[in-house]
Amino acid sequence: MIHLFNAFHSPHGGSEQETLQLYRLLSQQTSTRLWAASSKGCPTLIGENNARRTRPVPSFMPRGGTYIFVGTHWRGKLWPRLAAPPERLIYVYNTMLPNLLESTAKVPPGWPAPEYVMISDFQRALLGVPAEIHPSPIDLERFTPAQTRATGALRIGRMSRDTNDKHNHKDIGLYRELADEGIQWHLQGARCIASDIDHPSVHLTAAGTKAAAEFLRSLDVFYYQTDTHIETFGRVVIEAMACALPVVCHRHGGYSDWIEHGHNGLLFDNNEEAKALLKRLLNDSSERLRLGLAARATVEQMYSEKAINERLEFYLVPPRHPLLRKTGT
């Protein structure tokens, strides 16, 4: 039995979506159950996915097997001591929070030593912790290229949680400058910056206004840069690549592990570089098409049946000794 734990705070969070997709994949192979590990979880999200809340009550505690915590760790002082110890304890560690990493090393009495999965070499290098590397799974049948592009002005967009740490305020000038030149910006999950920019060609909407795949397919170019938040993977960037969008992203992020500058996307170090790259793309439709097709091919390789099965094997087949397992990419 495999038990998957997540806080389930937001229907639009990457960690939540990673947990649900991992659940779909694992449940096709073995008995798998979802658990809501936070009292602040979204009731709708928890209910729609039939997740159980962890409580110090026998029917609300896992009874052994493999415990996989995605973006969270065991919580509460009582239930972990009442629940049956797991045979394996796995952390899919998809954040950059050092205090959370410290918490994962503290296990209840009788529990095994934790095993770690991280979602990019970028993250593993920053944290310096031995770990498997599994890119966060996405549904390639859901994120597909648009059949046609909308007519009219070119559309650059981005999508994220609606929080200030996800938005780099150096981008405000970039939005305004290109909007003045006739570019349409569509920023979903950006109401938090509404007080900083008021322009008829900069469209700010709340997170979840459109379904992620539908929103991405409405764009011509995907742009991404964060502020204090460090993207250990950047699921939305990979989703944009799956939709065959040319992506223009700040170099400092886990997604850069899979972007080869000039081949399947473009990376920049500062906003002057970003502006030059965007202007180059906006004037070259063939370049947009070339980068987008290469991006889609990259993501198809990342999530090929062979690649997915190799990652699932980690959860389904315990190693003879964790340290002897070859770390995959």
Query: What does the DSSP 8-state code read for residue 261?
Result: B
Give the pLDDT score at 75.
67
Same fold, 2-137+304-324 and 155-301: yes
* Cα distances (angstroms) measured from residue 66 to each of 41, 86, 89, 102, 253: 22, 6, 6, 21, 30
* Tens digit of each residue's pLDDT (9 = 90 or more) over 21-40: 999 999 999 999 999 988 88
Distance between CA 190 and CA 162 in Å, rounded?
5
Greatest alpha-carbon pair distance for the chain in Å reads 63
Query: What does the DSSP 8-state code read for residue 124?
Result: H
Tell me the chain's radius of gyration from C-alpha atoms: 21
User: Which residues in the chain show pLDDT less than 70?
Assistant: 75-77, 150, 319-329
Task: Fold for 2-137+304-324, please state it.
Answer: Rossmann fold (3.40.50)
**CA-wise closest residue to 187 among 238, 179, 256:** 179
Is the CB of residue 265 less than 8 Å from the CB of residue 295? yes
Residue ranges per domain, the chain? 2-137+304-324, 155-301
Give the pLDDT score at 152.
77
Instruction: Please list the alpha-helical segments (H only) found in the chain.
Output: 14-27, 43-48, 79-82, 98-104, 121-127, 171-180, 212-217, 235-242, 271-282, 285-302, 305-316
Residue 57, judged by CB atoms within 10 A of its CB (0-12, 13-18, 19+), counts as exposed
**CA-wise closest residue to 78 among 93, 58, 64:** 58
**Amino acid at the residue 7:** A
pTM: 0.87
Give the pLDDT score at 327.
39
**CA-wise closest residue to 94 among 54, 49, 134, 45:** 134
The count of C-alpha atoms lying within 13 angstroms of the C-alpha of 137, restricted to the half-sphere facing its C-beta, is 22
Cα dihedral across residues 65, 15, 35, 98: positive or negative: positive
Give the pLDDT score at 325.
43
**Amino acid at the residue 109:** P
Q: What are 65's two structure tokens?
A: 């097997």
Q: Does domain 155-301 have CATH number 3.40.190.80?
A: no
CB atoms within 10 A of CB 170: 12
**CA-wise closest residue to 111 among 84, 130, 92:** 84
Distance between CA 192 and CA 151 in Å, rounded?
29
User: Can you tell me whether residue 275 is helix, strand or coil?
Assistant: helix
